[in-house]
Amino acid sequence: MRVYITGVAGFLGSHLCDGALAKGWTVHGVDNLFRGRTQHMPESEKFTFEQLDLCGDITTLSTSIETFKPDIILHYGAINGTEYFYDRPFEVLDTNVMATINLLKAIEACEHKPSRIAYASSSEVYGEYPDNIPSAETDITRLDIHSIRDSYAAAKSIGDFYVRMFAEQYDIEWTILRIFNAYGGRMDASKFGQVVPEFVKRALFDEEFTIIGDGLHTRSFCHVADHVRMVLTLVTNEKGIGVFNIGNDEEITMLHLAKEVHVVVGREFSPIHLPKRSNDPLRRQPDMSKTWAITGPCQISLREGLTRTAEYYREQ
């Protein structure tokens, strides 16, 4: 199996690369290193890396794909991190849409076409007020022009359509991955990262532990090892065509998450609450029945996953 991974130096991309190599697959990864880190790159004769910007020259990207001749393309390259959605919304929208369009145009120019394209979408497309909790893949996606946060959701939703329309036009199998709060080692622990590494870093190293809002917002957290297992199973399964939620169906509050982090690091829980963010969804939980019918459920508990994550950041 030959797999081409965009965003390979990032959190999820690097773990997917490791998972693919563990299966004996051959991997070619590309990344512009905007957020990715070369230290995440594996040393393997079955892995090659190319520093390449998906928003750059399409001919260069097309040559890269044509030369490698992948069976599967995992498109994970994007600007992610909630703070970016608020601080740099136009760049988030423009970059993420352009990256996907350029990738598809590059594939279009290739004589060799992959048998499957898998696109890293997001739970953000279900909107601030989802039709259903838990949210299923058949639920309507929602965007709010008045919500700066939806700069990311808009780009991912547009990507959903582009990938499906393109794949069906060229008779390529497609898998859209609606990702719900993956976490683990290698995540950006700055304010531009995600909540789990932020919480772990604060609990380990900061004098004060802060939470945005009242902490009653809910999310569902999936350890990266379960994420990788589910994705690699789906993209090689004949039933893994279409839209699939990727995550854990255990819904918890931010307060519960924060308390669990403190238990894991052995610190007394005494949070300071900051002003809430605008348009931050009150609840988010996936319906995992469709995905888990193929992959099986998550295998790593929240406590175990947070323990692994805390150990990683201690070592760093």
pLDDT under 50 in the chain at which residues? none
What pLDDT score does 121 carry?
98
Determine contact, residues 225/248, Cβ cutoff 8 Å. no
Q: What is residue 278's predicted lDDT score, i.e. its pLDDT?
A: 85
pTM score of the predicted model: 0.95
Classify 140 as helix, strand or coil.
coil
* Residue-range domains of the chain with CATH: 2-183+221-249+285-298 (3.40.50.720), 195-217+251-283+307-315 (3.90.25.10)
Q: What is the DSSP letter of 278?
A: T
Average model confidence (pLDDT) across the chain: 95
pLDDT at 34: 84
Specify whether the CB–CB gap between 201 and 189 falls below 8 A. Answer: yes
Cross-strand pairs, 178: 121, 245
Contacts of 179 by beta carbon, 8 Å cutoff, 6+ apart: 12, 120, 121, 122, 123, 227, 246, 247
Res 84: pLDDT: 79
Residue type, 141: T
**Can you read off the two tokens belonging to residue 289?**
């029945």
Q: What is the pLDDT of residue 192?
A: 66
Contact 258, 271 (CB under 8 A): yes
**pLDDT of res. 316:** 82
Report the alpha-carbon distance of residue 99 to residue 307 in Å, rounded. 35
